[in-house]
Chains A and B, each alone.
Chain A
Amino acid sequence: MHHIEIFKLKGVGRKKRRAKKDDYQWILRGIDLTIYAGERLALIGPSGSGKTTLLRSIADLEPIDDGEILFEGEPLQTIDPHEYRRNIGFVQQTPALFDGSVAENIRYGPRIFGEELSDDRVVEILKKVGLSADLADARSDELSIGQMQRVAIARSLSMEPNILLMDEPTSALDSNSANRIIRLVAGLAKEMELTAVIVLHDLAQARCGSDRVALLVDGRIDSVAGTEDFFENPPTEIAKRFLTYSSAGEDDV
């Protein structure tokens, strides 16, 4: 099942203006990466390595300044951005729910395209992310942070995406709820046959939550490998050092 190419990134680069300076800095440089249908790919790397920027570029929430991204063989720039994003679920690091009830949050996406979800459908989506039906009428700002993140996932599932992109979905959570979210996503990916790309800071989560990992260092892809392989036999010196230092709680390679 790993042979259909969903995304193909060729030489993707992204530059950003440096704070309080007049020059630019390349956040991403020459990224080549292929993402296959049905896989769960973890993007890992030290802070500031460009993981989030890469994910946001794939989600088309940020432009790229070099190279190209192909989606199912088509260059991203040729696809209508709203049509593109509607088919791709995106979950933010810190859940940002809309004002109003949980149900309204879940109805928001389909409503953009003129579809009104029934109460039953809302409950069905809530159940998928492990939330009970009586939460539908709760106000979004009354929830715990763990519940908010589940609602955010539910909100992206309301569009019935085939692809789910998640930016450190567990970083705002305590380790208990973080692990539950990782298991939930793994279950959803299997059940809905999703292709999932997840930025993860926690290596244990990356190890149990992915089929493949890509290690980013300084805006470049250092290595890509099957998850077990990667952790058992790190493919590069940098990967080896990253695993050693990260498990020791250090953040630099």
Chain B
Amino acid sequence: MMSDMIHLPIWTIIAAAGMVAIAAIVSLLLRLRLEKDMIVGTLRAFVQLMAVGLILDWIFKLDRWYLITAWLLLMIGIAAYNAMRRQGKRIPGLTQRFILAIGLSSFISILLGIGLIIRPTPFWDPQYIIPIGGMIIGNAMASAALSVNRLFSEMKNRAGEIEAALSLGSNAYSASLPAMRAAVKSGMMHIISTTMVVGLVHLPGMMTGQIVGGIEPSEAVRYQLVIMYILIATTALSSLLSTLLICKLYFDERSHMILPE
């Protein structure tokens, strides 16, 4: 199936990198001062992706379930670290909880989506589990980061209400319910709004890749739909889990609200 795809020798990549010069000229003309970031970004992307390509080639060739699992776990770790980095207020325990929330929601999505719906044999066939698992983990990360960002700002804005509820005898979770609902909602919104316009404005990356790879568009669309539906569940799980786990961090054991300054 790879036969009708153009192989890209290394000079094509260098030529494409040359197109970054157009962006650099715009930056220079308008004094946007983006040139440095652009050059660093261009080089970083090159090194990162080339390395990932080599590692994945190796993982695909060896085709061992434990190597594939290790790769997925590594991605979960990086995703959790990234979600933590995206928080304005960082408190101890944040990364561990993101690992748990992103890991569990991705695990459930992979199990149901790949294990029960796409059903490759074996289950851990890297051709499916690595790219699709990566999309699942990436979306779980985005939702977790968005939810927790929103959770913190809601808790801050609603601190008066939360304390009023606590002073009436409410526990930490029920006192924070309005803030938690807003947080979960904000983590789920992006994928739901994507489903509304998908295909009309732009073709999603996975579908684009399959079409370039020689798959018929009508077949690529099927994959895209299955993935998107799985991702809706992933974002819901990840938003919910991260909100539940991290909300608890804003209270001590006697339900005193302890928001970081």
Could you list which residues of chain A lie within 8 angstroms of chain B, going by C-beta atoms? 17, 19, 59-63, 77, 81-83, 85-86, 88-90, 92, 94, 96-99, 108-109, 112-113, 152, 155-156, 158-159
Cβ contacts A to B, 15 pairs, < 8 Å: A17-B261, A60-B256, A61-B163, A61-B166, A77-B254, A81-B254, A81-B255, A82-B170, A86-B169, A92-B163, A96-B159, A96-B164, A98-B178, A99-B178, A108-B165
Chain B residues closer than 8 Å to A98, beta-carbon distance: 161, 164-165, 178
A112 to B173, CA, bound (A): 12
Measured between C-beta atoms, what is the minimum distance from B181 to chain A in Å? 11
Whose C-beta in chain A lies nearest to the C-beta of B170? A112
Whose C-beta in chain B lies nearest to the C-beta of A98? B161
A61 to B166, CA, bound (A): 8
A82 to B173, CA, bound (A): 12
Measured between C-beta atoms, what is the minimum distance from A109 to chain B in Å? 4
A-B contact count (CB 8 A): 66
Whose C-beta in chain A lies nearest to the C-beta of B175? A112
Interface size class of B (residues with CB under 8 A): 20 to 34
Contact B167 A85, beta carbon cutoff 8 Å:
yes
Chain B residues closer than 8 Å to A112, beta-carbon distance: 168-170, 174
A61 to B257, CA, bound (A): 7
- Given known contacts A19-B261, A83-B169, A112-B170, A63 and B164 CB-to-CB distance under 8 angstroms: no
Chain B residues closer than 8 Å to A81, beta-carbon distance: 254-255
Whose C-beta in chain A lies nearest to the C-beta of B253? A81
Within residues 199 to 248 of chain B, which ones have a CB less than 8 A from any CB in chain A? none
Q: A98-B164, A99-B178, A109-B169 are in contact. List 7 more A-B contacts (CB 8 A).
A: A60-B256, A82-B170, A82-B171, A85-B167, A112-B169, A152-B164, A155-B164
- Given known contacts A92-B160, A112-B169, A82 and B255 CB-to-CB distance under 8 angstroms: yes
A196 to B153, CA, bound (A): 33
Q: Does B4 contact A (CB under 8 A)?
A: no
Chain B residues closer than 8 Å to A99, beta-carbon distance: 178
Measured between C-beta atoms, what is the minimum distance from A200 to chain B in Å? 19
Contact A85 B166, beta carbon cutoff 8 Å:
yes
- Given known contacts A62-B256, A63-B256, A108 and B168 CB-to-CB distance under 8 angstroms: yes
Contact A96 B163, beta carbon cutoff 8 Å:
yes
Measured between C-beta atoms, what is the minimum distance from B62 to chain A in Å? 49
Instruction: Please give me the 5 A-B residue pairs with the lowest Cβ-Cβ distance, nearest first.
Output: A96-B160, A86-B169, A90-B167, A109-B168, A81-B254
Q: Does B252 contact A (CB under 8 A)?
A: yes
Within residues 137 to 183 of chain B, which ones have a CB less than 8 A from any CB in chain A? 158-161, 163-171, 174, 178
Chain B residues closer than 8 Å to A19, beta-carbon distance: 261
Measured between C-beta atoms, what is the minimum distance from B155 to chain A in Å? 13
Contact B161 A97, beta carbon cutoff 8 Å:
yes
Chain B residues closer than 8 Å to A86, beta-carbon distance: 168-169
Contact B161 A96, beta carbon cutoff 8 Å:
yes
